[in-house]
Amino acid sequence: MTGGAWAALRWRMLAILCTGVVAVLATWFSATAILPALIVDWRLSPAQAAWMTNAVQVGFVVGAIGASLINLPDRVAMHRLMTASALLAALANSALLFTGPEGAIAARFLTGMALAGVYPPALKLMATWFVQGRGLALGFLIGALTLGSSLPHLARAMTSGLDWRAVVWATSASALIAALMFATLLREGPHPFGRATFDPRKALAVFSNRPLLLANIGYFGHMWELYAMWAWIVAFAAAAEAGLQSFPFGSASMFSFVVIASGVVGCLLGGWLSDRIGRCLTCAGMMLISGGCAALIGLFFDGPALVLGLLAVIWGITVVGDSAQFSAAVTELADSAFVGTALALQMGIGFALTVVAIWALPLFVGLIGGWQWAFLFLLPGPLIGTWAMLALRAHPEARRLAQGAR
């Protein structure tokens, strides 16, 4: 196959993979988007309501860490693992239609485990197609994840007069379509990683390899902020909406969709910048801006609405704009035979932190008496992450990043 044909094929694979990831990741926040209706219909307690979101995070953590300990992403063909996992996500998500609160929480946990079999392998699979331009390619992929995560809010905003089950049906169907796409259209690229044999000690390299550790600390700081913001922006918006006559984008649900979906722009911008000025500078810059937004958004809780909406969109762009670049750094710094293991463990620990942040943020809200300054709680994440990425930039091994762009 000629070089031009390979180039065309890799962009085709990128499009297929991104479309599938959008479709299956719609199950991540499907219950969060319909939570107000579930609270009424199922009479959920505050603890049960929180677990409707957090159970997915915990399931993802268990699935990702479990997969990394047995090197699953490096021992099983990636498209097969992703197909089976997307099918499981569709089935677990649809269980919301047939169960009550306790069963729903268990189903959300299983959904999270299933998504751990889609997200890390998708990053590894994409890296087999891209060496040059890997940051931008992974930016497209994380942009797809971001768009998929925002879709339940859009579905809820557009079906506000319909039963909440319409959102569940739609997101379950999209995950099933993703499974069919992964099974029939995906293949590994011309730059494969080595095949691994079972070696649980390789997971410890995340802690013993200093450049890899710094990249992961950056990711952990980023994750402390990201999913808590995504999970609770709708609650912040609903509280702000109550005090504003004119609210940005019309409603709290549409506000949440626009803010989260704007991250697609950030992912593409972050990928483009990362391949040019370097992974470390891009990540540090994004985290400084997103941390600034977290600190300032409370100033505009009572308006002006235009400024509130603009600042929220800037935050939505920058809070996830660096996400792909931490994963790109792992593919460049880790042992090539255990890239999947390193990615899965990175994400497992990162998502474990999201569980704590999502659980603790509303407790902080209770302590300060409202949502206006809630997101100050997230500031330590981007600050620590910025320090880690600047420290990595000074390390000699950073020359391996982005073909020398640190």
Say if CB 142 and CB 45 are below 8 A apart: no
- The pLDDT tens digits of the residues spanning 231-282 come to 899 889 989 888 777 788 878 888 888 999 899 899 889 988 888 888 899 9
Structure tokens at 245: 């006559």
- Taken as a whole, the chain contains a residue count of 406
Any idea which residue has 């049906």 for tokens? Answer: 169
| DSSP codes of every residue in 271-295 | HHHHHHH-HHHHHHHHHHHHHHHHH
Any idea which residue has 């035979």 for tokens? Answer: 337
Kindly give the parts of the chain with pLDDT less than 50. Answer: 196-198
What pLDDT is attached to residue 106? 93
What pLDDT is attached to residue 198? 45
pTM over 0.75: yes
Is the bond leading into 304 cis (omega within 30 degrees of zero)? yes
d(CA 100, CA 107): 10
Say if CB 95 and CB 103 are below 8 A apart: yes
Say if CB 180 and CB 82 are below 8 A apart: no
What pLDDT is attached to residue 6? 67
Show me where the domains of the chain are located: 3-183+207-404
What pLDDT is attached to residue 290? 97
CB atoms within 10 A of CB 301: 17
CATH topology of domain 3-183+207-404: Growth Hormone; Chain: A; (1.20.1250)
| Close Cβ partners of 95 (under 8 Å, ≥ 6 residues apart) | 103, 104, 107, 110
Closest by CA to 7, choosing from 138, 179, 189, is: 189
DSSP letter assigned to residue 397: G
